[in-house]
Amino acid sequence: MDHDIHDVIDGRYKLLEVVGQGGHGVVYRALDQKRGAHVAVKCLHPEFASDPAFKARMRREARAMGALSGTSATQVFAFSEAPDGTLYIVMEFLKGRDLETTLRHMEAQNQRLPLDRLKELFRPIVDTLEAAHARGIVHRDLKPANIFVLETDPDGPSSTRSNGSPEYKNGPASVSPLLKSDPPWAIGDSNPPASGDDASSGPQIYAGAASRGCVRLLDFGLVKVMQADPLTREGAIPGSPSYIAPEVWKGRPQEIDHRIDIYSLGAVLFRALAGRVPFMGASRVDILLAAARGPRPSLHALRPDLPPEVDAWVAQALAITPEARFQDVRALWGALEPLLDRVARAPDGAARSGPVPP
């Protein structure tokens, strides 16, 4: 059923305002009346809630984020179906803005992210993707709009994830030094948790995981679990055109693996450094042809303050074939970071945020 502001989902989550919506669902800021904390509640539109494919996709999204508890993936507190048929996910409520908005604002002023800030934002994303890929989870829609930059560091005293509620500060989002076993509703199981169940029993990824950082990786709605049957139909093209790996355009989801995320991350990093996407065109077809057949762009030409070797990094990060790419996100980041550090060691290098050469 459709919901109005002030409705209470499942007797617990009072809807306060709409903070996002799309073709398949609505995201609300809500009050968890049991804990007195602000949360985000994502509800599937009624016309999709009874569709087994959409229910399976939402269930997979919740499990993927639950499996990545302790990383910079958006944290899930609950996933269930209310008595009225509403299928919903309860997540941490975030304050800030997405990286797309941040980059557009800077690009309009001919500025770029300072390199120290870029490293601060992307290190947690690399950690999160590494954890996801280790569990056979592929995001499939990496782009600046799906990287959310928080107003404050959530691991500091002014946490944004729970509006200051002490009950959430050491709950589902806390980092455990142990890798726990999967809970009953983890990836591969067909049953979501009971109404109101928390995701805190989910596995805490990686002993000694890094701080969750000042970013969140959003929207696992297109997530692919490599051990599971693909949900994307043959011929469908998931993802966003400027960040899609060439093999995705074939529309054969069974051939997709974690290396599409490596390509997409390379494209996002290129955008953050260059102020433009690597391949441009008037249509999706134009972008496809440029990405699948054209030469790899020169980042050094767009950012002469970066070492010339950065173009070899671009060529490998955005390689047309998966086999020619970096084979994991750690290798991609490990090859780029020393080049950024070299610039940072130069006078005023780390502080450079613009203007930059056209």
Determine contact, residues 141/239, Cβ cutoff 8 Å: yes
Q: Per the structure block, which two tokens stand in for 55?
A: 């229910």
Looking at CATH, the fold of the domain delimited by 8-345 is given as Transferase(Phosphotransferase); domain 1 (1.10.510)
DSSP string, 205-246: -STTPPP-TTEEE---TT-EETTSPP-SPTT---S-GGG--G
Q: Could you read off the pLDDT of 248-290 as tens digits, one per residue?
A: 887 666 778 999 999 999 999 999 999 999 999 888 889 989 9
DSSP string, 86-108: -EEEEEE---EEEHHHHHHHHHH
* Choice among 86-100, 181-195, 260-274 with the minimum mean pLDDT: 181-195
Q: How many CB atoms lie within 10 A of CB 194?
A: 11
Q: Is the pLDDT of residue 173 over 50?
A: no
Q: Is 143 annotated as a binding residue?
A: no
Determine contact, residues 149/29, Cβ cutoff 8 Å: no
CA terminus-to-terminus distance, the chain:
51
297-313: average pLDDT: 97
Enumerate the domain spans of the chain: 8-345
The rounded distance, in Å, linking the Cα atoms of 228 and 185 is 15
Task: Supply the pLDDT for residue 35.
Answer: 92
Q: What pTM, to 2 d.p., does this model score? A: 0.78
The rounded distance, in Å, linking the Cα atoms of 73 and 139 is 10
Determine contact, residues 105/64, Cβ cutoff 8 Å: no
Q: Could you read off the pLDDT of 1-34 as tens digits, one per residue?
A: 678 899 999 999 999 999 988 777 889 999 999 9
Q: Let me know if 8 is exposed, middle or buried by CB neighbors in 10 A (0-12, 13-18, 19+).
A: middle
